[in-house]
Structure 1
Amino acid sequence: MVRPHRIVLLRHGESEGNADDTVYEREPDHALRLTPTGLTQAEAAGEQLRALFGEEGVSAYVSPYRRTLETFRALRLDPRRVRAREEPRLREQDWGNWQDREDVKRQKAYRDAYGHFFYRFAQGESGADVYDRVGAFLESLYRSFEAPDHPPNVLLVTHGLTMRLFCMRWFHWSVAEFECLSNPENGSFRTLVLGSDGRYRLDRPFERWTTPESFDLGG
């Protein structure tokens, strides 16, 4: 099995929905584009990633949302060294279809009180649902490592919540630990780096907005 040296998780650049949440009332979430600021963020991330990857190969998986596809395109990675594919399991948390702004504000307040992992949006998903499909993706990713020519780098172009849930699943974080973490900024990334001991470590932590509650599961 060829284990990659790095697994990079990149959040898309600023989207139209990040800049103006009323757009969800008239545009599907999956169709929202990058703003000019988002494009600049993606291009800046591309400069960093090109320096990080150097001449090494990359296996890239991209959420099928327009803003993630535009982000990947703006990275300007060398196509001779990148194997890229769409991966629907890395999409944003589904919130239903066209959104009523006041209803979403109300549901977000409910989610804050109920918990981001367990709260399910009407007609949409809970964080737990996203966790399950990220787990299914991880099984496919592990199998890809069996290829003798697997590149030394993996890149996932995805969404903030999905990034946190990927790390939760990979590192076996508790629900309480997940609940205390904030999304990374648009256009920023985190890297799982393979150590000499064969274990992956996160290059830098997610910001915390609170301290997680601790439970002892010992017998």
Structure 2
Amino acid sequence: MGAPEQIIMLRHGESAANIDPGIYDSIPDYRIPLTELGVAQARAAGERVRRQLDGQKVRVYVSPYLRAHQSLEAMELGDLVESIMEEPRLREQDWANFQDPAQIAAQKELRDAYGHFFYRFREGESGSDVYDRVSSFMETLFRHWAKADHPPNALFVTHGLTMRLLCMRWFHWSVEYFESLNNPDHAQIRTLHRKNGSYTLDVPFSQWTAATPQTTVLDLPQRLQ
């Protein structure tokens, strides 16, 4: 089959830490489960994905985090799934091991001032680190798509920032354009549709400030202090 006709990306549903960030200091991030609402969100997303697939098979790549696996399970895609591959490179941005909420809040303020792409959490990753690993993941995808038996659809069950960085890498967006984008909401879908050998994104990410995919640091006000 070759490259899929559509690549569907899903952010996981609402997690327990979205309701109570304090649990980060006692539960590893990758073990934090969905809430009841998160399960319902993923179930509704599954209905939308089934309509998109229209009876066709899909290969699933899922983040190893519990909330991603639970989202996939709640989607109830059944026999539409050709295979499921757990893919660590689709994980959430690493912030820390056990997270101290006060320290993370302070680092988030620094990140907002410094920039989300380049700021590296003291025990974790920068956005640019995630960009590098999703770039490596894309190389793996191209090898998979070189095989004739690949199904006509792919599904990534992942995280908000990872989705933005996948699209940044795919469409060669600039750093400043990435900085202008908001994460999708929980259990929201973005789809890359293939036509005439290239892909387009069905729904753009919302922006909190104006920028274009070609905006660079040269276009920003220059300040020396």
> Partners in 2 of 1:216 and 1:32 — Cα distance?
37
- Aligned-pair CA distance for 1:27: 0.8
**Aligned AA for 1:212?**
A
Shift in Å at residue 81 of structure 1? Answer: 3.7
**TM-superposition CA deviations, 1:10-50 (whole Å, max 9, x none):** 00000011111111111110000000000000000001111
Question: Within 2, Cα distance between the matches of 1:193 and 1:29?
Answer: 32
Structure 1 residues 70-85: aligned runs within 5 Å: 70-79=70-79, 81-85=81-85
Indicate yes or no: 2:113 matched with 1:113.
Answer: yes
Give CA-to-partner distance per residue, 1:92-151, whole Å, 9 cap, x none.
000111111111110000000000000000110000000000000000001101111111
Report the equivalent of 1:48.
48
- Paired letter, 1:211: A
Displaced runs of 4 or more, over 4 A: none
What's the counterpart of residue 221 of structure 2? none
Deviations 1:53-102 (A, max 9, x none): 12111010000000000000111112364311100000000011111111
Residue identity opposite 2:89 in structure 1: R
SS in 2 for 1:121: coil
Residue in 2 that maps onto 1:209: 208
Is 1:29 equivalent to 2:18 in the alignment? no
- Residue 146 (structure 2) aligns with: 146
CA distance in 1, matches of 2:211, 2:21: 29
Q: TM-score, normalised by structure 1?
A: 0.95
Aligned residues: 216
TM-score normalized with structure 2 length = 0.93
Corresponding residue number in structure 2 for 1:188 = 188
The answer for the alignment partner of 1:88 in structure 2 is 88
The corresponding residue for 1:179 is 179
CA separation of 1:172/1:80 partners in 2, compared to 1, >3 Å: closer, same or farther?
closer
Name the structure 2 match of 1:135.
135
Give the deviation of 1:198 after TM superposition: 1.6
Q: C-alpha distance in 1, partners of 2:86/2:99? A: 25
Report the 3-state secondary structure (helix = DSSP H, G, I; strand = E; otherwise coil) of the residue aligned with 2:147: coil
Other structure's SS at 2:78 match? coil
Amino acid at match of 1:118: F
Q: 1: CA distance between counterparts of 2:123 and 2:92? A: 14
Q: Counterparts of 2:125 and 2:60 in 1: how far apart (Å)?
A: 25
> Distance in 2 between the 1:176 and 1:2 partners?
33
Aligned-CA RMSD value: 1.4
**Quick check: 2:9–2:157 contact (8 Å CA) kept in 1?**
yes
Identity %: 53
Deviates more, 1:56-65 or 1:18-27: 18-27
Shift of 1:216: 9.1
What runs of 5+ residues in structure 2 fail to find an aligned partner?
A: 219-225
